[in-house]
Amino acid sequence: MKIPQWVKRNENTTMGETYSKDYLTKPNVAFKAYDEFAKGTDLNDRVIIKDWGGFNPDDITQNVFDSSIPYTITYEVSDNAHNTTEVKRTVRLVGMYDTVALVNGKLPDYAGRSEVEGDEISISLKNFSDTSTAYVRYQKGLKTIGQMKKKGTMVSKDENGEFKVSNLERGWYTFYVQTDKRDYFNLQVYLYN
């Protein structure tokens, strides 16, 4: 069973998009299930949601909007031979006015980690005014917020409003972001080339 990640599903959508339960439940929108050994037999109608992981799909307002607290939804499907497969999907909710830090245009996982291919890391902020102020510093290695508050190399914002660091070597980098709205992000990025 193939289920695209929620984040990947919404990479090209805009912030504040209207929620639809179809994003989580509708075949060919939320998932595609098929039996590869039975010539691609469609199994979409056999998919069940085994566990919502505390997420309320019917009333989105009853959920906690905190991207650091993910919900894990469990899907299950079985084929004609009664073989079952279970897949888990992580859903993170972000409030319409919450600042979000992206790494190379993508949302990091709930712990602020991501991986990037190449030699450049770019940090951008969404739901953040161009007239507001943000500070970004980085340091090689895995660092805590406490370690990053006073250490690291400051990164200037470019003409596109992004904070870019180029010509980096392979390995872990920590980026500390602080805004004048008192948002703090500690992003840990693994760079590979």
Q: Does 149 reside within a domain?
A: yes
Residue 184 sits in a domain of what CATH number?
Answer: 2.60.40
Judgement on whether residues 10 and 86 belong to the same structural domain of the protein = yes
Of 56, 91, 126, the position where a domain reaches its end is 91
Strand partners, 114: 189
Judgement on whether residues 111 and 69 belong to the same structural domain of the protein = no
Judgement on whether residues 17 and 79 belong to the same structural domain of the protein = yes
Number of domains in the chain: 2
Judgement on whether residues 82 and 105 belong to the same structural domain of the protein = no
Q: What residue numbers bound the domain in which 85 lies? A: 6-91
Judgement on whether residues 109 and 43 belong to the same structural domain of the protein = no
- Token representation of residue 144: 């805590």
Judgement on whether residues 36 and 72 belong to the same structural domain of the protein = yes
Of 91, 110, 129, the position where a domain reaches its end is 91
Judgement on whether residues 68 and 137 belong to the same structural domain of the protein = no
Dist CA 182 CA 179 (whole Å)? 5
Judgement on whether residues 136 and 72 belong to the same structural domain of the protein = no
Q: Does 1 reside within a domain?
A: no
Task: Compute mean pLDDT per 10 residues along the chain, 193 residues long, and list them.
Answer: 37 58 92 86 94 95 87 94 92 85 92 95 90 93 94 94 96 96 93 93
Q: Does 139 reside within a domain?
A: yes
Judgement on whether residues 81 and 151 belong to the same structural domain of the protein = no
Note the pLDDT of residue 52.
97
Amino acid at 24: L
Note the pLDDT of residue 16.
53
Pick from 73, 88, 92, 54: nearest CA to 101: 92
CB 142 within 8 A of CB 175: no
Note the pLDDT of residue 17.
62
Q: Does 119 reside within a domain?
A: yes
Dist CA 70 CA 67 (whole Å)? 6
Judgement on whether residues 83 and 108 belong to the same structural domain of the protein = no
Judgement on whether residues 104 and 188 belong to the same structural domain of the protein = yes
Note the pLDDT of residue 182.
87
Q: Model-level pTM? A: 0.71
Q: Which residues make Cβ contacts (< 8 Å) with residue 24, sequence separation at least 6?
A: 30, 49, 57, 73, 89, 91
Report the chain's terminal Cα–Cα distance, integer Å.
31
Q: Does 59 reside within a domain?
A: yes
Note the pLDDT of residue 193.
87
